[in-house]
Structure 1
Amino acid sequence: NAPIINEMKVSIECKVMNTVDVGSHTQITGEIVNIQADEDVIGEKGKVDLKLLNPIVYDDVLYDYFEVGDKIADAFNVGVKFRK
């Protein structure tokens, strides 16, 4: 029942589980309780597709915004060679 911004393509509603003061910041741990996504960002597998969403990310060191880039590897495969 959290308020959402209608212009957002994806909204993730969380329930706060824990907060910890970490220096000048507060670390918040939450549980996802609801996800809403516009139909136009849902891919062939029925989930949010980053290529369709085309999200931006904020760099709080350089104070810049960036687009998410291309896929660079398959998850859970690229790091296998580093296992000991």
Structure 2
Amino acid sequence: MLKEGLFWAALGRPSEVMPFLRGKLLSNGFSDNARRQLEWLLDELERFYERVACCGRVEERHVRAIKSFHRDIVSVISSERA
């Protein structure tokens, strides 16, 4: 889903995917700490998508950044369920 958002951002529509991501990730009953971490990551992701939209194309560095966001989100979710 994060990669799909990257391509939407490159098409000039960076906010198309954020409501879905926020709804899916933040409505899962996580602790306050995990929720705050996820909210921060999603805010950063949204700003990243906006920068990609200004660029107008997806570059390799953008794909690497998305992989990093994915790792961070999975890390918060995994630590919550451990």
**Would you call these one fold, judging by a TM-score over 0.5?**
no
User: Counting helix residues as a fraction of each chain, which structure ranks higher?
Assistant: 2
TM-score range, shorter chain: under 0.3
TM-score by length of 2: 0.19
